[in-house]
Structure 1
Amino acid sequence: MIRRTTVWICGLLCLLSVASACHAGEPDPAAGYDHLINTTYLPPYFDQETFDNVWRIWPEPLRSQAEKSTPDERRQMAFDRYGLTGRPEAPTKPLQYVVDKKGNWTLNCFSCHGGEIDGKPLPGLPNNRFDFAGITDDIRLTKALLGKKMVATDYSSLVFPLGENKGTTNAVNFGVALISLRDADLNFVPGARFPRMLHHDMEPPPWWHFSRKDNLYIDGFAPKGHRALLQFTMVRENGAKSFREREDDFRDIYAYLNSLESPKYSGQIDPQKAEAGRIVFNKHCSECHGTYGENATYPQRMVAIDEIKTDRARLDALSPEHREVYGKSWFNEYGEKAGLIADPAGYVAPPLDGVWATAPYFHNGSVPTLWHVLHPEQRPQIWQWAGKQYDHQKMGITVTELSEIPVGLPAIDKREVFDTSRFGKSAAGHDFPNSLSEEEKDVVLEYLKTL
């Protein structure tokens, strides 16, 4: 009897120990994903009825096509129009929005960081089709048609640039604007106003690079941490207290980002060419982009802007003062977190895991394929999406090269046309591949499929 009691007590103590550990809240990647798709950190933007009726304000002949379609077909048409995808585990539910039990839709982080490759949704993939301005404008018109109440977001595209091209957003200035209204503790400052900003568009990075970095963003200015992930929840409805209350959620989200791995290339690979490409890559490219396979390395090298020569709008958009405001705030533990770079010299060369899936390229999304990255002199000045099919020959998105912007395009279609002559959209720079022969470029392209 004593022995049984001892065993029972030991078992109970083990259960209590497990329960205590769970209650302590060890960061959980699975919980992090669940938070992103099921927890609202922003106020809702619109409801299910609005989304179901958005087709009513579409131009012809799209509206008539939608009218003749089933609800499921109309939903897919709307997903395609705005760059939304279904969730891998629930194809009819949007990956990019939290939809609550009342049918309210709230934007989440997957709007920029959850896309589609080869027809399959992939959380963590840059969403190269998301049209923030397009869905905002169409939802506003649909609400007006249905007599629905407007919210602040409905007017945002009228007063703040959201993104000139599908797949890009004015994300840096979202952060600058939001933090400019708060003090270091994230309390609102009465009378605070937005500073002068240099508006420009950015292509989001893939989330599976997160685990390889110590600092965030293309200029590498911000030390990595779970608090940094809360920046884009700084809407007026969220007071300073809300950020503290959500820390455990974002520890889970941080763990989720750290757990992501790059997708494997879905096409055919020539092993002999790829091996030849590995040798060329390690000789010419690894100094900045790292090595791969066993004993992989990533140097996190900052390349001076005068050396890389890519578009500098992103670098100039944040002043040292902007970066210091962030660095001294709660997000960066009031400056106690080491590693802030207030005045970076240029851009940090990214790792290239899964690079085959992340077109278009450069931090502003100006280069449509890896072939064009390797052929600087042949990058198109103006290009247009030619469908969602993946270009396995040039490794990137399928595009049509244009000599000029087509006249009379609706705004939402015009955002599928990329003009590299516009401010912040240059495709120049990173001309290092000019030192390679055509044969070397060909085998490097094959090697990039293996990463």
Structure 2
Amino acid sequence: MPRYIPIAAVLCCFLGNQFSITRAAPPSADRGYELLLNKAYVESAFDQETFDQVWQTWEPSLRDQAAKASPEERRRMAYRRYGLVERPDDPRHRPIQYVVDDRGRWTINCLACHQGTVAGELVPGAANTQFALETLVEDTRAMKIKLGKQLSRLDIGSSFFPLGRTVGTTNAVMFGVALMHYRDQDLNIHSDRLPPRLTHHDHDAPAWWNTSLKERLYCDDFAPQGHRALMQFIASRENGPEKFREWEDDFRHIQAYIQSLEAPKYPQKIDQELAEQGRAVFDKNCSECHGTYHPDRSIAEQYPERIVEWDLVKTDPIRLRSLTPEHRESYGRNWINEYGQAGEVVADPGGYLAPPLAGVWASAPYLHNGSVPTLWDVLNPSERPVTWLRKIRSPTTSSEQDYDFEKVGLSVETILEMPAEGLNSSERRYYFDTRRHGKSAGGHDFPEKLKIRERRAVLEYLKTL
């Protein structure tokens, strides 16, 4: 909310009704959602013709099927292939994840990573665990070349800058580093700087409904919350400092939308007696870091927002090390952090945030890199799959099968080894190999001390949050 200079109120009383003071409207969650859906803040990625024809770049068997399908069926196949969700009741059948303007230009928005489905249902604020950005860019780039269309910066940059090696994950942390590296504290662009040091790694987008429980951002909790913090991802070359000032109010509304979201309720029957047993186990063993979830307590009493030292949690360290203290300090001094006035930036967090667990059933996969497919696997560290395959592989298959209600999380198949050959790049991105750089499923082995019956009880309790 904006602050008003106290002297304005004094003048108003002194001058009576001669003048009226116009106050800005408070941030609106509805307006924020509308802006996300309909206002483009970066360069468009491709046009409608490219998307309508993109099926021609698919692997032969799928391409042959698409050739025999109607345009509507081909659109649905493309949406499933790329993890796009159609806007409800939209006569133009536009996806939630892209702004599509009247000229047919498609521009990615924040909902590309932060709005997906869970068990086939649209859940506001759920991460898009089926988003295949790298496959989409790869396919549309090939189609643009075939149609003789101009390539975008993303088309060119993605040739050497990974966008997400596994379906549903993102390299967004490095997007932020790369974009902000060429800006000074006032966001002026300096193209003559040498390239930044980048440690590419995939990350699991967090559920937005837990944002209101926290004061800070990211899995290392290094930065204060604020609407400007959302704006670093629009720092593409075409947006100079004046655009940030012009659009700042927009992002106040967008932040209001994010803050308004609430955790979804588990949609199936819960064994309340077992869940109550799990509450006792959780409160005794897990609440010190993850908080307690009792309706008679305030948010501050429920969730401690605690950083757990890496030597203790021991989850994959790449994300923690990928941001240098110098990068974090630079972030803290610039316009995005209100030149340090938004709050303290932690240059060396030393560990990862123990996240809030409201709606945790709907936020699979787990750990900051999305390496653990289900809550049961979180609770049974020694049984976590080394390599696993999302069961939804074909664009012609319904996404409703993509949830495991027994283990609570993604429906996956455990694979002993990655196939050595026979997979194209789009198929390979449905596999998750925890032996690869930044993808370890190790650490967070605290549940090992619990008995199996206690783990089952905790799993049931987590459904209630």
Asked if TM exceeds 0.5, the reply is yes
Divergent runs of 4+, >3 A = 88-91
Mark the CA change 1:352 to 1:74 in structure 2 (over 3 Å): closer, same or farther. Answer: same
The alignment partner of 1:393 has SS state of: coil
- 1:348-407 Cα distance to aligned partner (Å, 9 max, x none): 100001110111110000001000000000001100011242100000111111111112
Letter in 2 for 1:381: V
How far did 1:169 drift?
A: 1.2
Within the candidate set 431, 434, 445, 2:445 is matched to 431
Conserved 8 A contact 1:315-1:346: yes
Aligned to 1:173: 174
Within the candidate set 333, 339, 355, 1:334 is matched to 339
- 1:15-54 Cα distance to aligned partner (Å, 9 max, x none): x98x945xx1210000000000000001111111111111
Aligned to 2:351: 346
Aligned to 1:229: 230
What are the residue-to-residue correspondences of 1:411-426 with 2, within 5 Å? 411-426=425-440
How far did 1:444 drift?
A: 0.6
How far did 1:190 drift?
A: 4.2
The alignment partner of 2:169 has SS state of: coil
Aligned-residue RMSD, C-alpha: 1.6
- 1:52-105 Cα distance to aligned partner (Å, 9 max, x none): 111011112111111111211111111111111112453822010000011110
What are the residue-to-residue correspondences of 1:32-431 with 2, within 5 Å? 32-90=32-90, 92-294=93-295, 295=297, 297-387=302-392, 388=399, 389=401, 390-406=403-419, 407-431=421-445
- 1:126-149 Cα distance to aligned partner (Å, 9 max, x none): 111111110000000111122222
The alignment partner of 2:204 has SS state of: coil
How far did 1:261 drift?
A: 0.4
The alignment partner of 1:246 has SS state of: helix
Letter in 2 for 1:391: D
Distance, in Å, in 1 between the alignment partners of 2:353 and 2:381 is 19
How far did 1:332 drift?
A: 0.3
Distance, in Å, in 2 between the alignment partners of 1:46 and 1:137 is 12
Conserved 8 A contact 2:377-2:383: yes
Which stretch shows the higher mean deviation, 153-162 or 440-449? 153-162
Instruction: Give the alignment's TM-score, normalised by structure 1.
Output: 0.94
Distance, in Å, in 2 between the alignment partners of 1:166 and 1:193 is 31
Letter in 2 for 1:298: Y
Conserved 8 A contact 1:277-1:445: yes
Paired residues in the alignment total: 435
Distance, in Å, in 2 between the alignment partners of 1:229 and 1:194 is 23
How far did 1:194 drift?
A: 2.1
Distance, in Å, in 1 between the alignment partners of 2:59 and 2:171 is 26
Letter in 2 for 1:46: F
Distance, in Å, in 1 between the alignment partners of 2:159 and 2:383 is 36
Instruction: Give the alignment's TM-score, normalised by structure 2.
Output: 0.91
Distance, in Å, in 2 between the alignment partners of 1:337 and 1:95 is 31
Distance, in Å, in 1 between the alignment partners of 2:87 and 2:219 is 28
How far did 1:293 drift?
A: 3.2
Distance, in Å, in 1 between the alignment partners of 2:381 and 2:191 is 49
Distance, in Å, in 1 between the alignment partners of 2:367 and 2:136 is 25
How far did 1:337 drift?
A: 2.1
How far did 1:417 drift?
A: 0.5
- Structure 1 regions of 5+ residues with no counterpart? 1-13
Letter in 2 for 1:325: S
The alignment partner of 1:112 has SS state of: helix
Conserved 8 A contact 2:169-2:369: yes
Aligned to 1:10: none
Aligned to 2:28: 28
Aligned to 2:10: none
How far did 1:198 drift?
A: 1.2
The alignment partner of 2:159 has SS state of: helix
Distance, in Å, in 1 between the alignment partners of 2:89 and 2:409 is 26
